[in-house]
Structure 1
């Protein structure tokens, strides 16, 4: 494990960057907000990161109290990484960073990788309330745990239980939302996001 580098500045922003300022660290946090993840899954959803760098960042995050590593019970018996309470406190940091970065998105480049669940955090910024939401995109499905104080913020694939609301939207609408050109409620009102479900959250979205 490499020694932690430091800016050696008595400033809370500098201290925070001592922990999460290295390349890939915050994107690992983004992935672990989905709950426990195996190393192989993290590597698959972080295209471009080398195995050495990913392993190093995860060790640093363990050392700094941002993540832990544990072994799943049989029949899984695999090791998974997950965020600590301290690591989960980075959610609003990532949300603010994503909001700030909206103007930089522009058009998707041919070299840009994409995963459906990368749209999860931008969508949670535009949804209020609490409940389980299932989202269907052309790129794939994911689900959101709105208002969750503990555990996963989102997950890949269909919802693990009957969701409070299902959202269906196309790539153009999703791109407009994550680029800050439209918000979720406006897209629901004009029919670009279809909402189904009998939960209170679905009813609130349809009536907004």
Structure 2
């Protein structure tokens, strides 16, 4: 395990960056906000990270109390990594960073990797209420846990149980919402998001009250 590097500054921002400022650390947190993940799953959903760097970052996160490692009971019998309570507290940090970076998305570059669940955090910012929302994109499916509290913020694939609303949208619409250019309510009204479900959350989305307003650069 590598020794922790420090900015040696008596400043809370500098102390925070001592822990999560290394390359890849916050993106590992983004993946673990979905709940426990195996090392191989993390490596698959972090294209570009080397096995050595990923292993080193995970060890650092364990040492610093951001993540833990545990063995699943049989028949799984695999090790998984998951965020500690302190690690889960980084959700608003990731949300604020994502909001700040909306204008940097631009057009999809030929070298850009894409995973459907990378849209989970932007959609969590855009939606209001509490409940389970399934989202189906061309690239895949994931589910959101609005108002989840201490649990995972989202999950890859279909929800394991009942859902309150199901959203079907294309990549262009999802990108516009993630950039803050389009609200979910406006997308529903324009027929760009199809909402199904009988829950209060689905009804709110159909009525145009289930999302936040677009930012200053949006429409």
Verify same fold: TM over 0.5. yes
Deviation string for 1:104-161 (max 9, x for gaps)? Answer: 1100001100000000000000111110000000000000011001221101111111
Q: Aligned runs of 1:87-106 on 2, under 5 Å?
A: 87-106=87-106
Q: TM-score by structure 2 length?
A: 0.94
| Counterpart position of 1:111 | 111
Root mean square deviation of aligned Cα: 0.6
The equivalent of 1:158 in structure 2 is 158
| 1:172 matched residue in structure 2 | 172
Output the TM-score relative to the length of structure 1: 0.99
| 2:213 alignment counterpart | none
Q: 1:175 is paired with a residue of what secondary structure?
A: helix
Shift of 1:184: 1.5
Matches within 5 A, 1:22-101: 22-101=22-101
Task: After TM superposition, list the pairs within 5 Å mapping 1:2-13 onto structure 2.
Answer: 2-13=2-13
**2:181, 2:130 → 1: CA distance?**
24
Q: Are the aligned partners of 2:184 and 2:205 in contact in 1 as well (CA < 8 Å)?
A: no
Work out whether residues 173 and 192 of structure 1, in 8 Å CA contact, stay in contact via their aligned partners in 2: yes
| Inter-partner Cα distance in structure 2 for 1:189 and 1:124 | 19
User: In structure 2, what is the Cα distance between the partners aligned to 1:73 and 1:94?
Assistant: 31
User: Structure 2: which 5+ runs fail to align?
Assistant: 209-219
3-state DSSP of counterpart to 1:136: strand
Return the offset for 1:207: 1.3
Partners of 1:189 and 1:160 lie apart in 2 by 29
Deviant stretches of 4+, over 6 Å? none
Q: Determine the C-alpha separation between the residues in 2 that align with 1:180 and 1:205.
A: 17
Partner SS, residue 101 of structure 2: helix
- Cα distance between partner residues in 2 of 1:180 and 1:153: 20
